[in-house]
Amino acid sequence: MTDSELARNDGQQFDRLPATPADREVEGRASREEVVDWWQERFGVAPETFENVTFWEKGSGKIWAFNADLPSPVRVEGLGITVLRTRQEHWKPTTTGVKRFGREATANVIELEPAEAAAFAAGHDQQLDRWDGDWGYLIAAHELAGEREPIGVGLYLHGELRSRVPKGYQEELAVLE
Amino acid sequence: MNPLDRYERLVDDPEAFRGACDRRLPSVVRVNELRATPERTRRALDEEGVTYESVDWNDRLLRLPDGSPGTTWPYVHGWLHGQEEVSALPALALDPDPGDRVWDACAAPGSKTCHLADVMDDSGVLIGNDNNLGRLSALRHNAERLGVSNLVVTNDDARNFSLDSLGIDALDGAVADVPCSCEGTCRKNPDVLEKWSMGHVEGLVGIQKGILRRAIELTRPGGEVVYSTCTFAPEENEAVVDHVLAETDAEMVPWDAPLETSPGITEWEDEQFDASLAKAHRVYPHQNDTGGFFVAKLRVGGADDAGEVVGA
């Protein structure tokens, strides 16, 4: 099938992602394989993590993860949680996506000190020169009650960690010493 | 008139009942075990210096004497959800298994729905429906915050709800936590007592019957349905269940409530209800220092999957 024969995305319904790019019937739509590969390549999240999860697109490039399956397409108001934004040069994980799946991450996780974690959660950008990993979208995490916990998505560029915590989730929190 | 006057003859200690209704409700949170254990959550609250007490009948519920949990790390991480103690009863009463197909008929803003997801271990299919589109955004926000990923959100009139487009033939369970006159929330919203009228109650009863009936119709034989309200009004509680028992093949089943309750009543004014309504639970504010609540658990009759006839 050539690109011109592919259908357009319908933003009013949830469509299950095709299994592979070869199964694509809607122009520009990501495939399940690409989404699972992306989480593995970017964050080291094992593909088995998504064994029971189905991925859906509603709206342009907004990918939802649902922990079961339904007939596709389906016209409902919500299906699982949003995990990823595609249809742009750099795919962007969502806050809810990294909170749900980011605990399994082994790569591109920046662990923040107490004061840095509080600044990040409040939505502040900060200079963090110690990071020598990849630039781009990172999972910002901190230690709480003995284990690492993801806080949200950060964008790391030129030595700066920009907080991408959405306004509705931003909070002024205690610095845990 | 103050509608609470009507219920003094139903309670063991009218003075304690009225006294509790006048006091502010304690701030309570539920630990979201999809994200953290009660132990880890308590440790995180300790690290942050937040005062809490475990609720004596459930270690997943914590009272916060200093008020709102909104600006603590465990809350921001979705380990905690602000939720009245009694609103934990529907999910505990239904007690769905992981993998079940469950419908929450009136789901927004979603505290009880997210608790159902927690009990289901975020597996199976949980359908959270509400007819109010505006309130659905609160349901979606809560589900995302708590990491609930087995939830389908729908916006339909529960009385005519259909499973057809979801490819589900029948439900394993349902919660009908119906719109009501909300007297039981008077410790949070004293306004509900001033706005109360018998006309409003009468208007709600038809809706309540329609929603409970639909929940029973959509549930497989042997499946269970929980009916709940936050009102003391027998017209909206026992009378609704009594009506639906007579119309369908569902029957009341016993459930051991984990806190102090009074049995459902079997007569009110000049009406008699089925004797099995005594298996329902009434929660009065003075019994456990909570809001008011009513919960009834029903089993749908007919031959279940194992071929056993239920409720015959």
Angle at B303 between CA B302 and CA B305, to 5 degrees: 135
Instruction: Answer yes or no: is A103 within a domain.
Output: no
Q: What percentage of chain B carries pLDDT values higher than 90?
A: 93
For position A144, which CATH number holds? 2.30.130.60
Tell me, yes or no, whether A60 and A115 share the same domain.
Answer: no
Tell me, yes or no, whether B204 and B280 share the same domain.
Answer: yes
The tally of domains found in chain B comes to 2
Taking Cα atoms as reference points, which of B248, B99, B227 lies closest to residue B171? B99
C-alpha to C-alpha distance for B86 and B238, rounded to whole angstroms: 18
Average pLDDT over residues B204-221: 98
pLDDT in tens, A25-58: 999 999 999 999 999 999 999 999 999 999 999 9
pLDDT range class, residue B309, cuts 50, 70, 90: low
Answer for the pair A105, A137: CB distance below 8 angstroms, yes or no.
Answer: no
Average pLDDT over residues B84-106: 97
CA distances from B307 to B170, B173, B218, B299 (A): 16, 18, 19, 15
The answer to whether the CB atoms of B149 and A53 lie below 8 A apart is: yes
Tell me, yes or no, whether B45 and B120 share the same domain.
Answer: no
pLDDT range class, residue B181, cuts 50, 70, 90: very high
C-alpha to C-alpha distance for B96 and B119, rounded to whole angstroms: 7
Tell me, yes or no, whether B54 and B126 share the same domain.
Answer: no
Greatest CA separation for chain A: 59
Total-model pTM: 0.96
Query: Can you give the pLDDT at residue B312?
Result: 43
> Is residue B305 scored above 50 in pLDDT?
yes
Helix count and strand count (H, E) for chain A:
3, 11
Tell me, yes or no, whether A162 and A80 share the same domain.
Answer: no
C-alpha to C-alpha distance for B109 and B132, rounded to whole angstroms: 10
Angle at B77 between CA B71 and CA B81, to 5 degrees: 70
Give the end of a domain, one of A69, A94, A119.
A94
Tell me how close the Cα of B66 comes to any Cα of chain A, in angstroms.
16
Tell me, yes or no, whether B31 and B141 share the same domain.
Answer: no
Given A82, A173, A176, which is nearest B76 (Cβ)? A173
- List B residues 57-86 in contact with A (Cβ-Cβ < 8 A): 70-74, 76-78
Relative to beta strand B53-55, strand B58-64 is: antiparallel
Average pLDDT over residues B195-206: 96
Instruction: Answer yes or no: is A174 within a domain.
Output: no
> Is residue B68 scored above 80 in pLDDT?
no
A68: chain B residues, CB-CB within 8 Å:
123-125, 150
Tell me, yes or no, whether B142 and B64 share the same domain.
Answer: no
The answer to whether the CB atoms of B140 and A121 lie below 8 A apart is: no
Query: Can you give the pLDDT at residue B1?
Result: 80
pLDDT in tens, A49-104: 999 999 999 988 999 999 999 999 999 999 999 999 999 999 999 999 999 999 99
pLDDT in tens, B3-54: 999 999 999 999 999 999 999 998 999 999 999 999 999 999 999 999 999 9
Worst-scoring range by mean pLDDT, A5-9, A30-34, A172-176, B127-131?
A5-9
Give the end of a domain, one of B83, B118, B152.
B83
Instruction: Answer yes or no: is A80 within a domain.
Output: yes
The tally of domains found in chain A comes to 2
The DSSP bridge partners found for residue B295 are B228, B281
Give the end of a domain, one of B83, B109, B131.
B83
C-alpha to C-alpha distance for B284 and B282, rounded to whole angstroms: 6
Query: Can you give the pLDDT at residue B222?
Result: 97
Give the end of a domain, one of A67, A94, A121.
A94
Q: What is the mean pLDDT of chain B?
A: 95
Give the end of a domain, one of A63, A94, A125.
A94
The answer to whether the CB atoms of B150 and A96 lie below 8 A apart is: no
Query: Can you give the pLDDT at residue A8?
Result: 84
Instruction: Answer yes or no: is A171 within a domain.
Output: no
Tell me how close the Cα of A102 comes to any Cα of chain B, in angstroms.
12
Q: B206: which 2 tokens?
A: 């038809």
The answer to whether the CB atoms of B72 and A76 lie below 8 A apart is: no
pLDDT in tens, B96-112: 999 999 999 999 999 99
Instruction: Answer yes or no: is A140 within a domain.
Output: yes
C-alpha to C-alpha distance for A153 and A148, rounded to whole angstroms: 15
Query: Can you give the pLDDT at residue B307?
Result: 58
Tell me, yes or no, whether A12 and A78 share the same domain.
Answer: yes
Tell me, yes or no, whether B109 and B189 share the same domain.
Answer: yes
Name the binding residues of B for S-adenosyl-L-methionine.
Answer: 106-112, 130, 157, 177
B154: chain A residues, CB-CB within 8 Å:
76-77
A174: chain B residues, CB-CB within 8 Å:
48-49, 72-73
pLDDT range class, residue B66, cuts 50, 70, 90: confident
Tell me, yes or no, whether A88 and A114 share the same domain.
Answer: no
Tell me how close the Cα of A74 comes to any Cα of chain B, in angstroms.
7
Instruction: Answer yes or no: is A175 within a domain.
Output: no
Tell me, yes or no, whether B60 and B122 share the same domain.
Answer: no
Query: Can you give the pLDDT at residue A6?
Result: 82
Q: Is B145 on the interface with A (CB under 8 A)?
A: yes
Domain region containing A29: 3-94
B230 as an active site residue: the answer is: yes
Tell me, yes or no, whether B90 and B171 share the same domain.
Answer: yes
Query: Can you give the pLDDT at residue B306?
Result: 59
Q: Would you give the DSSP letter of residue B179?
A: -
Query: Can you give the pLDDT at residue B69?
Result: 74
Instruction: Answer yes or no: is A173 within a domain.
Output: no
Tell me, yes or no, whether A26 and A88 share the same domain.
Answer: yes
Residue in chain B nearest A151 by alpha carbon: B77
Tell me, yes or no, whether A70 and A136 share the same domain.
Answer: no
B44: chain A residues, CB-CB within 8 Å:
144-145
> Is residue B232 scored above 60 in pLDDT?
yes
Answer for the pair B27, B69: CB distance below 8 angstroms, yes or no.
Answer: yes
Domain region containing B280: 3-24+85-310
